[in-house]
Every structure is written in structure tokens, then in C-alpha cells.
Amino acid sequence: MEPPTAEAVLRGVYTLYNDPNNAEKEKASKWLEEFQKSIHSWQIADELLQQKHDLNSCTFAAQTMRNKIQNSFHELPEAAHESLRQSLLEHISHITLETKSVIVTQLSLALADLALLMSSWNKPVATLLERFSSNINMMYALIELLTLIPEEVNSRHLRLGANRRKEILIDLEADSTLVSEYLTMCLMNGNESELLRSKILKCFTSWVQINAFKLPEISDSMLIVYCFQLLSNATSSSELHEAATDVLCSLLHCMELNNARGGLDDKLFNGILCLEEAYNISVAQEDLDKSMNFSRLFTVLVECNLTRMVAGSDADTPHYSTKALDLVLNCVGHYDYEVAEITFNMWYRLSEDLYQRNNCPLTAHFKPYVERLIAALYKHSQLDPDHDGLVEEGGSFKDFRFKVSEIIKDVIFIVSSISCFKQMFLILQSANVSWESSEAALFIMQNVARNILPEIMELGERDIPTARFNQLCEESEVVPKVVEAILNLPDNCHIAIRYTSINILGELCDWIDSNPETLQPVLNFLLCALQQKNGLATAAANSLQLICSACKKHMLGHISGLMEIARCLDSFDIQTDSAIGLLKGISIIIGRLPPNQLTPAMQELCSFQVEALSRLTNGEDDGLDGKKGRNDPAFWLDRLASIYRHVSSPDRNNGPNPCTLVIVNNWNVLSRALERYKNNSKVMERIVRCIRYAIRCIGKQAMPILEPLVKQIITIYSGHNHSCLLYLGSILVDEFAHEDGCTQGLLNMLQAFIDPTFVVLQMENGLKNHPDMVDDFFRLATRFIQRAPLQFLQSPLVTPIIQCGLLACTLDHRDANISVMRFFCSLLRQDRDHDLQLIVKSILVTHGEALIMNLLYASVFCLHSYMLSDVAEVFVEIKQHSPHQLQEYVKKAADTLPKKNSGGSVTVTDEQMVQFVANVVNSETSRATTQVLQDFARLYR
């Protein structure tokens, strides 16, 4: 853009905030965005801050300065760093109590980021304290700066690098005493301003979080004492209460991280235990915010002590820190379920630790606590007495009950599912029990029902005392009583009770399979529920699916009833996903029929869907008018796909597959659908998914449709670049590439795919904008390497595909990058015969250096840390071929990386570079190589 003037920027800002014309606003916004990207914005932002024209222009200038330092600091030569520092310090020094907070924050962020980036600025914290600490008018601004500097240390935007970050942290640790003294002084002299006191505590928290303080040195800190005073005082404001909670939680996390035990540890533990009464007062005063703060604090206290709580307990005596669990359970019993929800992750961590240790006496220490937890969750799960209908979908209470389900499944082994089931059953049998209590008890039972059978079966395998064995057997007798009670529910029971009861029957599917005499009455009950409305039919469909999946042998005798359900499926009030699930269950049973019964049953089951699709593909109405439901082709395609996916004949590869006739006969409808909906990517994905399962169902016996299918998808792809067609191509390669006469035709298909694919990917940002295409294309190429390696590697197609893969190495889309890495790994693993070895060695000589160059650049600058394990696999494969070549390539690639960052600090030393190369070459496993890459990437991040 042309060099702008300050006046032009002012006009743009004025238009953005004041012009009533939205089109002009949009135009100004785009212009200002381009301005911020330009090199000229540095100087003009500085000018606008000096002019102080108005609030909007100052805010924009401050934001621009912060944005430039964060994202474009490399634009400034090192010689300009000092003048920028002086300019920002000057702007900061003019801040007054009347300066708007947004400007203060943006300027403070800009200066904080500059302090971290500018390696020539020694001891920035000490500099700021020396310059501003004596000016009482600068107190707010200085505290803001002192808060932001530690917060920005780990900013991903700054890319400080591990070496610079280490330097900074050492400096901050050295200056932490000065900061603590200054904050204490501010607290003592800061009058009664709650805002100031809150900022002081937030600043202290930010320094604790980066582990800057030596914990023994702050054990007597007035700031910590003040936090306990705030939490103990029922009149403390919500903001100060939350800030004090943050301080103590951060200290606890810090101690856990450093395994620091001693004076501060004991003070915090005992001090927090003494806050129980303050929590009770917050409950009595119905101060939900404070109750949630206490819940968070008590939970973090337990998490901080969790390791020693478990490891330090012996067979007879639990560790003293377990008393903190009483505080947490007190919060779980709060009248508002949001307070209880805060504790859930702690219970998960406790259950994981106990499960891994598998120590029954140890686990027994925690059983009473988990029993109290489940009792509290049972109460929280109750609906309001005047609630009509079911739990509202998408509501916060529905989400909470889902989380309750997950946490119960995590912890239930501590108390046993059978025992929990019995306790809830006793509630059901209580005199005058309310409907909401009954429903909540059933809800808890629903979440443990799947574990009942494994626990009963395990009884006979364990050497347990006779009394306990008899007790468990007695408890297991509760299950048939529950089933009987459900099957005999009165007609006038609340709909929520009936709904949850239906779900329990589905969860008891394994138990029903072991008790087949219950199957017929259960099916009768569910069939009746299928004909209900208001969610009951959907629940019944879900339970039927589970029973079909678990009771395959026993359900064969009920196939005629299942087929009748399929015929009447559209008359039931069932959600789409549940209907598909029910078809899955029916299909599983059909798959177990003898061949002479399977074919007609599958044909009939498919016919309901195929006939509807046929009408849509033949008629004028294609079902794409925006109305969802039975006129939508996806509605029928998803059903048909579910059938194809789950009718699994055991004779797939031995003799004629009884599903083949059905699938081949239905092909014409799917072919017409491909042609009719080729302009609609969402429907095309559904069609491809359906075809995929059809081919997987019958394998090589899909040969009659292979040639017309390949021709059709090639034609469609040339005009409509649906990546799902590439995916379908990979399925075809997987199934047919090893068949005589098919390989060349499939290679021709790949060649036809390449040109339109590369046209899209070579556009500006083509790889970034089309990750699905990258994913599916390299999945297809990988299938060729796996199924027909010699023919593929000898073809002229391999070179352009490798070149495309080299460019795609930097793509930070998880699935796409995995496919690219797997392509290279598969390519390098081809050493099964001499010809393949020679080809791979030739490829490595030609492209190996560029591959390592791109992979290392991607690892450092483009990919997320969790994605580097896939990159490491490629390094390992290259090493298998030639460690010497790997060392040479890695050294060359590392030498191209910058040795200094934009702030002038050393990113990587010569010693670190040498060590990195040696570590890559010496790593024996993918896991070790991943760690090496992650450690090296941190030097640049």
C-alpha cells in the first residue's frame, strides 16, 4: 500500500467508529487492517500516541503498537530497538489515573513484550521499578506492567525460544524480591481501593505461576496473610475473594510442581482447612461465586496432595491429607450442582491413581468418600418435582448429568457396581419415595448397569471370604428384581421414570444375554415403548440396538419381529440417529442368518431405503430444497450405509457372499445418486460413505461394479473436486489393487485424479484451504504403496506426488499432516525385495535432503508439538536406510535455521546444534526422536 499519513489513519479510525454507513465502516476496517500490516504503522502509531487526538485513535494506536511487537518485531532492525523502548517508556510515563484502562493495557502489553524480546534490555523489571515506583500516580500502570511481563513469558506469539525464556526467568527470579516488596508496599499504602488491591493480588499470582518466588522466602508474606483474611471475611467483595483464591491455588500448583514441602506447605494446608466455616457461611448467605471459589480451592488442595495422599497411605492408616477430601465432599453437597462440578476432575485423577495401583486395602480407604460422592450426585441428578417431560436437550442440566455419568463410571470400581445398584434399589423401595428421587436412583443405576455382569462373573474367579461372597451374591439378586419392577411399571408413572428405565434395560444387555429367559418380556416392553412419543421411542430404539449387539445368538429367533419393526420404522417417533442405530442392531442379527435367509432379509431391509432414494434420483424433486427429513437423500443414504456396514457375513472370502446380490442389484440407484448430486459436497460424502461400506461388505465380489464406478468418479472429479472421491479411490485400491488385471486401471484412476488435485493445491494457500483433499489424496497414494508398491514406484506418478508431499510437510492440519507423514513412512518401508530397495534408495538420494529440510522447518516453525511424533516416524525410517545420510541431511537442514531471533538473542548455540544432530542420529525409537524434535523446537518457540 502507499505510505499513509497520520491524518489518513485518523480519518479511517473516525469512519470505523462514527460513520453510520456500514459499507464505509467495512471499507475503513479493511484499510486499517492493511495499514497495521505495513511497515509504516510503527511510526504512525507512535505519532498518534503523541498527538492524543481522541480515545479511539489512541486505543487504535496502542493496539497497533502491541500487535506489531507481537507479530512483526522482525521488521525492526536492532538499531531501532532502543528508540522504540524510549518511546514506549515515554508514552507509559504520561499515563494518569484518568487514562482509559484499554489504552493502559495495550501500552503495557507492548512494553512487556518488548522487554521480553529485546535482549539488549538488561533487567527490565528493575528498570521499571526504579523509574516508576516512586510515582504514586504510576502505581496502577506499573502493577499492570509487572503483571503482564510474567504472563507473556510463555506467549506463543512472541516465539522467544527456550534459551531466551530461560534467561528471562532467571532475571525475573532475581527481581522477585523487589517485586514482592513493592507489592507489599502498595498493599499497605494503597488506601481502600478494591481495584488496586485486586490488581496487586493478580500481579502476585502471575509471578507465582512462573515459579519466580523461592517458596520459603514468601512463607510469611503479608500478601498470603491478606489472602486468608479476605477468604475468612464474609464481607469481602467477590472480585477480591476470587483474586485471593487465585493466589492460593497458584501457590498450591507451584508446590505440587516443585514437590516443595515444608513451612509454607503446612501453613497453606492448615490455613485452608480452617476455611470450612467461611465456606459454610457463603452457603448460608447463598453467595454462589464465593462457594465456587472455595470449591476450586479445596479441590486444588486435594490435587496438590493427591500423590502423597495415595502413596503415603498404608494398609491400616490413610495419609493425614485425606481429611481434605471432607472439604471437597462438603462442596459436592452444595445445593447448586455447578459447585459440585468443579471437583469432578479431581475424582477422575484419584480414580486413575487407585486403578493403576490395583491395591484393594489402599482403595478401601477411599470407599467411604466415593460412597458419599455418589450419594451427593444422586441428589444433584434429581429433577424438580414439578418438572414435566424429560430433561431438556442441550440444556446445562443435561450436560451436568452427562458429566455425572462419566464420573460415576470412573469411580464405581472403588465401591463396586453391584453395591451401588443395590443402594439405589433400596431408595426405590423406600416408603413414599417421590418420583424425582426414583428417577435419579434409576439414572445412577443406568450408569453402572453395564458393569454388573462382569462383576458377577468375577466373583467365581476370586478367592474372597465366604461372608463377602454371600453378600455380593445377595446384592447381585437385586438385578432381576429391578428388571421385574421396570417391566411392571404402572401406566401413570412419570415419563422421566419410564425413559430412564428403558435406558437401564439397554445397559443391562450383557446381563440379559446371560439370562435369556428375560429377553422376551424385555422385547415386549421395548416394542410397546417404540410406539410411544415424547422421547420414549428413541430410548427404546437405542436399547434395542444394544440388546441386538449383545444378544446376537438369542435374537436370531426374533428376526421376524425385528423385520416388522424395520417395516414400521417410519411410523415410530424416533430421532434419526437412533433409527440408524436400530437398523444397525437389526443388520447385526441379519448377518448371523444362514445364507439362504440372509439375502432376502437384507434385500427387504435395504428396499425401504433404496426405493425412497430411487424416487429422489428419478423425480424432479431432488430433496435439496432445504427441508430436512424424508425428502433429504442423506436421510436414506445414512440408513443404507448403516445396513451395509453392519451386515457382516462370515463367508466374505470363502465362496459366494450372500450380500453380493443385494449390493450389486442396488448399485444403479447409487450410481444415479452420484450423478444427480455431484454438485452437492455434503450429499456426495454420504453417497461415498455408503459405497465404501458396500465394497467393504463384499470385498472382491464387488468386481462387477468396479469398472463403471471408477469411470464415473473420474468423470465427476474432473469437474467437481470432492475429496471424498479420492477417499473412495483409496478403498478401491485397498480391495482390488492385488487382483489380477486391476492394478493398471487403478493407476490410471490415480493419474486422472492428479491433475485436478494439483490445480487446486497449487492455488494461493491451496494446501491450507483444502486439508481434506491433502488428507484423502495422500491416503490414496499410501494405499498404492501398501497394495501395489512395485507398480506404483515404477510409474511416473511417484515423483510429482513426492514433490507435493514435500510442500505439504508444513501443513498444520492434524489429519492431513498424518496422511502425508504416513505416505513417506510407507514409501521408505518398501524393502521387501531387491527392486523395491533400489527404487527407495534412489528416491532417498533424490529427495531425502529436501524431505529432512522441510520436516525440520515444519517441526520448528509450523507444526504443533503434539504432531511431531508423526514427523519422528519419517526420521526413524530414513535412519533405517542410512544413519550416515540422516546425519548429513539433518546437519545441513539445521545449518539453514536462524541462530538468533528478532530480538537479537541467541536462539540456538553451536553446542546445542551439534547435540541435536547427534541426538537425532542416536535415537533408537520414534518416541525418543519425538522428544528430541520437541526439545529442539522449543528453542525457537
Report the pLDDT value the prediction gives residue 303, as an integer from 0 to 100: 96
Helices within 233-275 (DSSP H only) = 238-258, 263-273
Report the pLDDT value the prediction gives residue 174, as an integer from 0 to 100: 96
Number of residues that this document lists for the chain: 941
DSSP codes joined into one string, 127-190? HHHHHHTT-GGGHHHHHHHHHHHHHHTT-TTT---HHHHHHHHHHHHHHHHHHHHHHHHHHHHS
Question: How far is residue 935's CA from residue 941's CA, in Å, rounded to a whole number?
Answer: 10
Report the pLDDT value the prediction gives residue 313, as an integer from 0 to 100: 86
Grid coordinates of 212? 519466580
Phi and psi of 391, rounded to 5°? -65, 135
- Find the helix or strand (DSSP H, E) in which 224 lies: helix 222-232
Question: How far is residue 722's CA from residue 579's CA, in Å, rounded to a whole number?
Answer: 28
Sequence-ordered list of residues with C-beta below 8 angstroms from that of 856, at least 6 positions apart, any chain: 890, 893, 894, 897
Grid coordinates of 846? 533424490
Portion of the chain with pLDDT greater than 90, in percent: 82
Sequence-ordered list of residues with C-beta below 8 angstroms from that of 401, at least 6 positions apart, any chain: 381, 391, 443
Is the model's pLDDT at 109 over the cut of 80? yes
Report the pLDDT value the prediction gives residue 739, as an integer from 0 to 100: 87
- In the chain, how many H helices and how many E strands? 49, 0
Higher pLDDT, 211 or 470: 211
| Residues 688-721 pLDDT 10s | 999 999 999 999 999 999 999 999 999 999 999 9
The answer to whether residues 621 and 631 touch, using CB atoms and an 8 Å cutoff, is yes
> Collapsing DSSP states into helix, strand and coil, what is residue 493?
coil
First to last CA, the chain: 31
pLDDT band at residue 462 under the 50/70/90 scheme? low
DSSP codes joined into one string, 728-769? HHHHHHHHHTTSTTTHHHHHHHHHHHHHHHHHHHTSTTHHHH
Grid coordinates of 759? 490445480
Report the pLDDT value the prediction gives residue 837, as an integer from 0 to 100: 87
Phi and psi of 150, rounded to 5°? -65, -30
Question: How far is residue 91's CA from residue 83's CA, in Å, rounded to a whole number?
Answer: 12
Beta bridge partners of 900: 906
Question: What's the burial of 354, exposed, middle or buried (CB within 10 Å: 0-12/13-18/19+)?
Answer: buried
Report the pLDDT value the prediction gives residue 193, as an integer from 0 to 100: 87
Q: Where exactly are the structural domains of the chain?
A: 214-360, 829-940
Grid coordinates of 823? 505416505
Report the pLDDT value the prediction gives residue 19, as an integer from 0 to 100: 87
> Collapsing DSSP states into helix, strand and coil, what is residue 333?
coil
Report the pLDDT value the prediction gives residue 765, as an integer from 0 to 100: 94
Kindly state the average pLDDT of the residues 530-550. 95
Q: List Cα–Cα distances, 216 to 105, 146, 220, 255, 271, in angstroms.
A: 32, 22, 8, 11, 16
Question: How far is residue 673's CA from residue 632's CA, in Å, rounded to a whole number?
Answer: 12
Angle at 434 between CA 433 and CA 438, to 5 degrees: 80
Question: How far is residue 133's CA from residue 201's CA, in Å, rounded to a whole number?
Answer: 17
The answer to whether residues 6 and 51 touch, using CB atoms and an 8 Å cutoff, is yes
| Residues 732-764 pLDDT 10s | 999 999 888 899 999 999 999 999 999 999 999
Q: Which of 2, 59, 63 is nearest to 36 (CA)?
A: 63
The answer to whether residues 583 and 575 touch, using CB atoms and an 8 Å cutoff, is no
> Collapsing DSSP states into helix, strand and coil, what is residue 478?
helix
pLDDT band at residue 259 under the 50/70/90 scheme? confident
pLDDT band at residue 190 under the 50/70/90 scheme? low
Q: Which amino acid is at 440?
A: A
pLDDT band at residue 96 under the 50/70/90 scheme? confident
Long-range contacts of 292-295 (CB under 8 A, 24+ apart): 292/338, 292/339, 292/342, 293/231, 293/241, 293/242, 293/245, 294/231, 294/245, 294/331, 295/328, 295/331, 295/334, 295/339, 295/340, 295/342, 295/343
Question: How far is residue 22's CA from residue 941's CA, in Å, rounded to a whole number?
Answer: 40
Question: How far is residue 188's CA from residue 355's CA, in Å, rounded to a whole number?
Answer: 49
Question: What's the burial of 530, exposed, middle or buried (CB within 10 Å: 0-12/13-18/19+)?
Answer: buried
pLDDT band at residue 467 under the 50/70/90 scheme? low
Report the pLDDT value the prediction gives residue 647, as an integer from 0 to 100: 95
Q: Which amino acid is at 729?
A: G
**Beta-carbon neighbour count of residue 857 at 10 Å?**
16
Lowest-confidence segment of 110-119, 185-194, 221-230, 335-344 by average pLDDT: 185-194
Q: Which amino acid is at 834?
A: H
Report the pLDDT value the prediction gives residue 512, as an integer from 0 to 100: 95
pLDDT band at residue 475 under the 50/70/90 scheme? low
Question: What's the burial of 231, exposed, middle or buried (CB within 10 Å: 0-12/13-18/19+)?
Answer: buried
Radius of gyration of the chain (CA): 34
The answer to whether residues 448 and 411 touch, using CB atoms and an 8 Å cutoff, is no
Is the model's pLDDT at 177 over the cut of 70? yes
Question: How far is residue 768's CA from residue 613's CA, in Å, rounded to a whole number?
Answer: 35
Q: Which of 320, 319, 374, 368 is nearest to 344 (CA)?
A: 374
Question: How far is residue 555's CA from residue 588's CA, in Å, rounded to a whole number?
Answer: 10
**Beta-carbon neighbour count of residue 89 at 10 Å?**
15
Is the model's pLDDT at 131 over the cut of 90? yes
Is the model's pLDDT at 346 over the cut of 90? yes
Phi and psi of 230, rounded to 5°? -60, -45
Q: Which amino acid is at 135?
A: N
> Whole-model pTM?
0.89
Helices within 788-907 (DSSP H only) = 789-794, 798-808, 814-828, 834-861, 868-881, 883-895
Q: Which amino acid is at 59?
A: T
Report the pLDDT value the prediction gives residue 497, as an integer from 0 to 100: 96
Q: Which amino acid is at 428?
A: L
Report the pLDDT value the prediction gives residue 835, as an integer from 0 to 100: 82
Question: What's the burial of 794, exposed, middle or buried (CB within 10 Å: 0-12/13-18/19+)?
Answer: middle
Q: List Cα–Cα distances, 630 to 566, 643, 663, 691, in angstroms.
A: 15, 17, 22, 20
> Collapsing DSSP states into helix, strand and coil, what is residue 607?
helix
Kindly state the average pLDDT of the residues 553-561. 94
Largest CA distance in the chain: 94
Report the pLDDT value the prediction gives residue 768, as an integer from 0 to 100: 95
Is the model's pLDDT at 928 over the cut of 80? yes
The answer to whether residues 116 and 149 touch, using CB atoms and an 8 Å cutoff, is yes
Q: Which of 296, 177, 187, 301 is nearest to 246 (CA)?
A: 296
pLDDT band at residue 316 under the 50/70/90 scheme? confident
Is the model's pLDDT at 224 over the cut of 60? yes
The answer to whether residues 376 and 334 touch, using CB atoms and an 8 Å cutoff, is no
Report the pLDDT value the prediction gives residue 704, as an integer from 0 to 100: 94
Q: Over the range 727-750, which residues count as b (16 or more CB within 10 Å of their CB) and which as e?
A: bbbbbbbbbbbeeeebbeebbebb
Report the pLDDT value the prediction gives residue 157, as an integer from 0 to 100: 87
CA 205 to chain centre: 28
Report the pLDDT value the prediction gives residue 833, as an integer from 0 to 100: 75
Question: How far is residue 424's CA from residue 381's CA, in Å, rounded to a whole number?
Answer: 13
Is the model's pLDDT at 472 over the cut of 60? no
pLDDT band at residue 626 under the 50/70/90 scheme? low
| Residues 488-527 pLDDT 10s | 999 899 999 999 999 999 999 999 999 999 999 999 999 9
Report the pLDDT value the prediction gives residue 469, as an integer from 0 to 100: 56
Kindly state the average pLDDT of the residues 481-493. 93
Is the model's pLDDT at 798 over the cut of 90? yes
What sign does the dihedral 42-43-49-54 (CA atoms) show?
negative
